[in-house]
Amino acid sequence: MAMNRIVRQMYAFQERNGTQGKCMDNAVFLKDTLTASGRHAQVQPVIATWTEGSDVKIMLHMVVLDAVQGLIDPSFEVARHQNVRYALAINGSLLGKGHLNTTGLSRRDAVVQFLKFVNDAKRINAGMILLSDPAYYNAQADFLGATRGSHPLYG
């Protein structure tokens, strides 16, 4: 399976549609694609950080940990930035570095949201179907199927 090609096609779909705030759906889609090909993958909550000029941007985010390729960011919204760093745990010094990009969350609310992401990831990795937008998930699958000549999950 050409995983890098699939991720690039996901990015193309997301860029074309101006996708934002769909990291859970993107991570579930990529996990499902990897799992369907026989690979072991899990959804993982992270704190993504990058700089824009002198500003440090921080975003609560979900990625995929793949047994073959390691951490894969399936969301163009974050992956398009240069030098993104991913932290697997939240701490006060990390949140003290900058402001939360796009979310406008307080530090307390950020911790609560991250813990929710941790719980959601556990449920997804245990086999629960958990999507914020099933229609978006299906539209992305249809796009990848059209660009590949078949549905990425079903050949």
User: Are the C-beta atoms of 41 and 63 separated by less than 8 Å?
Assistant: no
pLDDT at 65: 95
pLDDT at 112: 86
Q: What pTM, to 2 d.p., does this model score?
A: 0.86
Diameter of the chain by CA atoms? Answer: 47
pLDDT at 56: 80
For residue 136, the Cα-to-chain-centroid distance in whole angstroms is 14
DSSP 114-136: HHHHHHHHHHHHTT----S-HHH
Q: What is the mean pLDDT of each run of 10 residues along the chain (155 residues)?
A: 84 96 96 90 93 84 93 96 89 55 64 91 94 94 72 46
Backbone angles phi, psi at 22, to 5 degrees: -120, 30
